[in-house]
Structures are given as structure tokens and as C-alpha cells.
Structure 1
């Protein structure tokens, strides 16, 4: 890295104590293509590693806050992180029986976040993903939160998977509005997205393996109308066999897919997102890449195109974000198993596409980072977040990586943050701050410029 300097001087010798791995549900839990793996906790550091170029010269950790115990003696692990109107929302993972719900932090003083409430703590489930938006429709006016709900045991008849909706207009007193149950035999909704089209509110869901477990009776992706949050209504399910020429009943069973070159792969929906207008949907569909749909008519989407991989590349399209006014797609590929016969040897990395023509995405560049010298064991990229011309990547034991994508065909790492025992699941970018969820230790707040101010979206 050119012009790299230490913000905190930390020598390689501080990497003194390897820490055990933390197993987690999600991703490719069926493990058919060797992508199944464990979250790798990094090593114990004397201080966080914080490096950067002049573009992130003020980046520093200003807060590290553990979660409260909802039950005495039970420590929940964090999942994704989101921020809205001066409050941070942390989902929780499956550790120690799950049921950690969503934790709400008042970020009025970002250096001392205060956990002020929790919601959606449902026994026998875990709540990874939370999205919050301000909406104003005939059915609801205020701040609406949607939370994914996944069963710890999909065969447990006393639990249900899907998503739950809350009124968080007052984040200190969340109010439950409605629940949508996944119409499948899968665990429930893994990732989701909340989007608004004028007077209509929709939740897009990724219910991993719904297609496979139900033998095609239900699909992995559902569009749900939540314009009235008390009565969610499914309006559409996406079936890749109906849209994608390379997919049919003959070569796809909802999970196992043989591509046009005869290569055995896996394909299932892992994540969903829309553009800012809510009219284009992006489905992260593992080895089918990122599938792009025009959803101007949410009940009748139009297939536009999808990203693709070389024959030696493990697919594993995990999640995405947009850059350059929606003309560039950043796709992260989660691969825990770097060695697989017939494929390149690599942990998961980032691929960047030109999508000005959404019917024909064009690969512009790839971004890999090698931090195995600092963090034994290596790891894979997880989630991307774009803020202007800067890309922030959560990287498990690799912490948070900061990448300049001013020239999307030539991404350049400009900074990194690796806390002690790093296991960074999610990242959320604010104007002056970066929020990171560390699975083992809670909420991390990084100041990237200026003097401390309240976090606002």
C-alpha cells in the first residue's frame, strides 16, 4: 500500500494468542461446494490495528460497547448493524441459544453509545438483519423496522421463521406491528430489505433453501407487501427456472446446479436489496451471481441480467451494494473453503461490475486483501457498504477494510481496522463514523473525520 502509515503503532509481535473459531449458522450451511465454514476469530492484540492513508488519517476507534445480558449469564453475539436518526440497531446471532433480539443504542454521544431498548427477542430464533426506514403511507406513518427471524432448529414446531415488523418512531419504546411467516420448511428469513415505492412498502426476503427443502413448492425469494404493517401479504415469489436460460428442472433442484459448462455448483438466495428508488432489485444468489430484476411492478418483475464468474471461480455471491449512482455493482463473495478441486485457491473476495447496461454486467475489477501475516488463518470478505467513492468491507478476522473505488477498475485499499479477537460481521457507514458489529464483543464505533458529533443518517 502506498503512503501507508500507522495511526496506532502496533508491531507484528503483538499477535500473541490464537483464539478458537466461532461456529455460526448462515451462508451455505449445507456445504455442498465447500463454502461452508466457521467464522474465524482473529488473534488477541495489545491494541487495535488501525492503518490508513491520508484519506482516512483521522480514523480511530472511539467506542467498543458489549451487549447487555437480557438473561443473567447469557451472552448474545452480534450480527448486522444499521443506523437511523441517531440510533444504532444491532441484530444478534445464534450463540448461547439466540433470542438476543435487536439492540438499540442511542448515539447522541458516539464515544459513549447507550443501549436503550431491545425488541424481537423471540425464543428459539435469532435475529440477524434489521432495516429501519421512515415511511409515510395511508397504512403507516413513522419509523418502521423489519427484522429477520430464523429458527435455531427448523424442525422445532414451536418456533416460526420469517420477519417481524416494529414501530420504532420512539426507538426507546418499540411496538410490534405484525409478523410474516416464511411459507417453507427452511429456517426462516436470513437476510431482507425494506423498500418504498411511493405509497407502497415492500419487504424482500431471502429464505435460504426454501426452494430446496420444499421441492419447488416455495421459492427462496418472496416480495411481501407491508403497506399495512399489521397484515403483511406475499405478492410474488422468484423462481430462477422461469427467468434464467441456464437454469431448469433438469439441472437445478433448488440448491444443486450444474452450469452450462457441466460444472457442479450451488445456487440459493442469500441476500436481497434494492436501489434507492425501490424499482430495481438485486438478488445475491450464490453461484448464480447477483440477479437483477426490474420491480417497477412488484407483482410482475422483469428479469434484466446477472453477474457471472469464470469457470475456476467459486461463485458464492453473498451480498452487494451500489456505487457511482447505481452504475457500479460491488459484489462480495463469501468463501470459507479456499481449496476446492478444479477451482482457484482463494478465500472469498470482492468483484466490481459496470452495470450501466443491467442486461450485461461487465466485470471491471476484483479486490483481494492478504492479511494472513497479521491474523493467522485468514478469512473471507463478508458485507460491502459504499459511501461516495469509498468502499467499506466487513472481513471477519480481517476487521474492516477501507477501499478507494474512485476508479472502479482499480480499487486501492486505503485503510484497515482490526480489533482484538476481530470477528466483524457487519459495517454501516455514516458521514463521520463507521459502525461495526463484532460478533464476540459488540458495537464498535470508528470516527473517520472531524470532531465528535451525534450520528445522523
Structure 2
């Protein structure tokens, strides 16, 4: 467990200030602009394809040219509202998650209230949007697939034959008021997308992961799933608990083990495997990402990472917690969020977003004793009120760290440190979606 620093209030950063370790360097920032400039237009997740980064936003998505990461530039912005617009790419296809009640599936749809949607019965839409990105600078919207309770996040699982890709849809918060989001919703939706005919994409199964209703009452569906297709495994962060699944048959995932932490984990948010699949790191999104939880009052074990060893039989055993050891202001939302491995040979090193807690690089090779190697942290957006902001996702791609900041836009950073130097040699395949883990 990492000791939590408790600096005097004068040591907490002020708006406009930056604090970082000597090995972390901000190379460029591309601010939000145009239709995404408003405070309410939140930047969300990231995916990568060759020389392009695809960045989700509650109002659509942005394509960045990252051929020269030090001089990354915005190439395209597409307006297509629907929170969270969680984003992935696979071959010539891009997928966006919509977890908000839309009047229809188009990019011109309007947001409906729960009462308005329930009054129309099934006269609303939420789910997955499928785009053709064979020309990344001319994306074409080709298909929508409606899913129960929408799609808060999703995860891609390619089939071994290379004919289809499966989309594991995570959603939660069922309500009896909505026809397509009925309780108990202890399931995920699986969409099959034929690669030669994506317009035929459809829900093919809805496996129930929690037939007993979950280990604790708030479990209902999942928030996020990370797949490791090469190992035939997936790890799900499912609100009230963490699960490990066998996905050798991707249409029929089988739960191998489940764990809960009623003392310290409030909301199981996401998961990451280490490279050999012997460790799973789960995150706790205490406060739903909107709270100031990086302070001595909350402490070092809540809103943190939890590391579990994973046996060959698929059994999870708790090892430790990690939370960034820097106090954040009371106007900064700060909690564990999305990250990915840095491909360092022989080590388990990860870069991770912490909202307004910034970006942290952690070595968890010894899962019982994780150690922070570097960090980058901005001061609060305001010292008068909490403005939702900070790094939503921080991922390592071909030698650089890319962070999609909710308010500040795209950051490109570099870590220069002999402890991770050989990570520069690790290259991913043409596509990189952090929730579909490759080996290195």
C-alpha cells in the first residue's frame, strides 16, 4: 500500500500551475475547439490506428494526425452527440458507445429526459454506432445497433477466423420506467459485426453474468470490460464487483471468479491485465469521477487501484492498493481512471489517468508493492468551484503517452527514464484499443 502524502494546503497546486516529475515532459497540447469547446462537451476515450488517434467527446469525435507526435495536429472533428462516445477502432471500422436517451440513432438526434423516453415507450434510441473509417479523414456512419440500457462502454473481441469482430457492450443503471432497460439487467450485450458487411451487425447474445443478482446489491451489468483475446480471458469491472471470464468462445463468456471489496471499493470501474496475465488491476471510481477524493480525509485505499494475482485456474487473490501520493484541491475531481501498459521487457509498467489528479506511471511488477515512476499534474480548473475535468484516458502508443483531457483537449507526453527506456521498442499492431489488450 502506498503511503498517502499530506502536504499543507499551501502545497496544493493553484489554477494554471503544473507539477511534474523530472522524467515526464509535455510535448504538445491541442485545446478543445469548435463544437467541442464548451465546458459541458466532455472529452472521453481514445483509440489508435496507424498515424491517427481517435478521440471521443460527448458531442462526437476528433481525429488527430500523430505521424509526428511532437507536432500532432487536429485533422478532423465530427459532431455526433451521445454520451460517452466511448471509442474503438478495428480495421476499417470505428465504434462509438451511446449511453444517453436519443430521439433517434442519427447524429442530428436530440437528448430526451427519462420521463419523455418512458412516455414514448420504445420511441428512443441508445446503443452502438458503427462507422467506416477506410479513409480516416472521411468517416461514414454505416450502422446503428440498439442495446438494452444503451452502451456506456464497449470492448472489441476479434474472432479467430478474422471474419467478424464481437462488441461486448457494458451498461448499467436499469430502471423500470424504460422499456429497454428493465431490472435486474445482470447481463452484457454481445454484438457481432461481420467485417465484410458491417451493416449486418446485430445483437447475437445477452449472457447473464450474475444469475444470483451479484455479490452485493448494486451489481447490475458492467461498467467496463478489458479483453485479452490471446489468453482467452476478459476482466470485467461490474459496479459492485470484479469478475474474470473465459472468452475462448467469444459468443458465450463464462465467469471464472468474482471478487468484492465492501470496505474500500465503491464502484468497480475498469480493469487491466499485466502482460502475462498473472495480475489484474481493477480501479475504483469513487464518487463516479465527479468527486474530490484525492486527499487525506478519503485516504489511500478508496478511489484507488487494487491489484489481484490471477491463478492458472482463474482465481483472483488480493495483493495491494495504489493511489497517487499527492493531495489535490477540494475543487478537483480526482480518482483512478483509464490507463494502459507500457511495453517494458520483463516488467509490468502502466500509465494511468486520474482525472484532475493528472497522469501517473506505475511499476507493479511486484503487485504487492507498486511504485510510482513518474507523474504530470495540472492545478485545478478553478479554485472557486469544481469543474469536471482532467485526464479521462492516458495511454502509451508507439513511444509516447496520449491523454484526452476532459477540458484541455489532447496532450502528448513523453517519459524519459532508463527504467522504461526499452518500452520505446514495443510497437502495437495497426490498431490499438487499450481495452482489447495485445501482448508484447
Does the alignment reach a TM-score above 0.5? yes
Distance in 2 between residues matched to 1:71 and 1:400, nearest whole Å: 22
Question: Is the aligned partner of 1:109 residue 2:53?
Answer: no
Distance in 2 between residues matched to 1:396 and 1:72, nearest whole Å: 18
Deviation at 1:221, TM superposition (A): 1.0
Deviation at 1:364, TM superposition (A): 1.8
Deviation at 1:443, TM superposition (A): 0.5
> 1:329-362 CA deviation, whole Å, 9 max, x = no partner?
11111112769xxx99954100111113353211
Q: Which of 398, 404, 409 is the equivalent residue of 2:368?
A: 409
Q: Structure 2 length normalisation: TM-score?
A: 0.75
Deviation at 1:367, TM superposition (A): 0.8
Deviation at 1:13, TM superposition (A): 5.9
* Contact kept in structure 1, 2:27 and 2:70, CA below 8 Å: yes
Distance in 2 between residues matched to 1:197 and 1:208, nearest whole Å: 26
Deviation at 1:308, TM superposition (A): 3.0
Distance in 2 between residues matched to 1:65 and 1:79, nearest whole Å: 15
Q: Which of 119, 131, 155 is the equivalent residue of 1:193?
A: 155
Distance in 2 between residues matched to 1:108 and 1:316, nearest whole Å: 37
> 1:156-177 CA deviation, whole Å, 9 max, x = no partner?
5575211111121221111222
Aligned to 2:15: 44
Q: Which of 129, 138, 143 is the equivalent residue of 2:86?
A: 129
1:282 counterpart SS class: strand
Distance in 2 between residues matched to 1:219 and 1:418, nearest whole Å: 37
Question: Is the aligned partner of 1:64 residue 2:29?
Answer: yes
Distance in 1 between residues matched to 2:37 and 2:285, nearest whole Å: 34
Deviation at 1:115, TM superposition (A): 1.6
Distance in 2 between residues matched to 1:365 and 1:74, nearest whole Å: 36
Residues 427-436 or 437-446, more deviating: 427-436
Distance in 2 between residues matched to 1:373 and 1:270, nearest whole Å: 25
Aligned to 2:322: 367
Q: Which of 235, 252, 267 is the equivalent residue of 1:282?
A: 235
Deviation at 1:190, TM superposition (A): 0.6
Q: Which of 272, 284, 287 is the equivalent residue of 2:225?
A: 272
> 1:291-344 CA deviation, whole Å, 9 max, x = no partner?
2221222333322112332x42234210011103122111111112769xxx99
Distance in 1 between residues matched to 2:224 and 2:265, nearest whole Å: 17
* Contact kept in structure 1, 2:99 and 2:127, CA below 8 Å: yes
Q: Which of 239, 244, 249 is the equivalent residue of 1:297?
A: 249
Deviation at 1:87, TM superposition (A): 0.8
Distance in 2 between residues matched to 1:258 and 1:298, nearest whole Å: 24
Question: Is the aligned partner of 1:233 residue 2:202?
Answer: yes
Aligned to 2:405: 438
Q: Structure 1 length normalisation: TM-score?
A: 0.73
Question: Is the aligned partner of 1:165 residue 2:130?
Answer: yes
> 1:16-69 CA deviation, whole Å, 9 max, x = no partner?
7xxxxxxxxxxxxxxxxxxxxxxxxxx4133x21115xxxx2x20011111331
**Which structure 2 residue ranges, 5 or more long, are not aligned?**
3-7, 101-110, 118-122, 382-388, 429-440
Q: Which of 205, 210, 232 is the equivalent residue of 2:169?
A: 205
User: Over aligned residue pairs, what C-alpha RMSD do you find?
Assistant: 3.3
Distance in 2 between residues matched to 1:72 and 1:211, nearest whole Å: 32
> 1:355-377 CA deviation, whole Å, 9 max, x = no partner?
13353211122112232267765
**Which structure 1 residue ranges, 5 or more long, are not aligned?**
3-10, 17-42, 94-99, 135-142
Question: Is the aligned partner of 1:89 residue 2:89?
Answer: no
Q: Summarize the Cα distance change of 1:217–1:323 in structure 2 as closer, same or farther, 3 Å threshold.
A: closer
Distance in 2 between residues matched to 1:217 and 1:375, nearest whole Å: 36
Distance in 2 between residues matched to 1:265 and 1:344, nearest whole Å: 23
Deviation at 1:233, TM superposition (A): 1.8
> 1:74-124 CA deviation, whole Å, 9 max, x = no partner?
97321112222111111113xxxxxx21100001222232221234x334x
2:48 counterpart SS class: strand
Distance in 2 between residues matched to 1:64 and 1:382, nearest whole Å: 20
Distance in 2 between residues matched to 1:305 and 1:375, nearest whole Å: 37
Distance in 1 between residues matched to 2:12 and 2:210, nearest whole Å: 49
Distance in 1 between residues matched to 2:328 and 2:95, nearest whole Å: 39
Aligned to 2:120: none
Q: Summarize the Cα distance change of 1:71–1:148 in structure 2 as closer, same or farther, 3 Å threshold.
A: closer
* Contact kept in structure 1, 2:12 and 2:328, CA below 8 Å: no
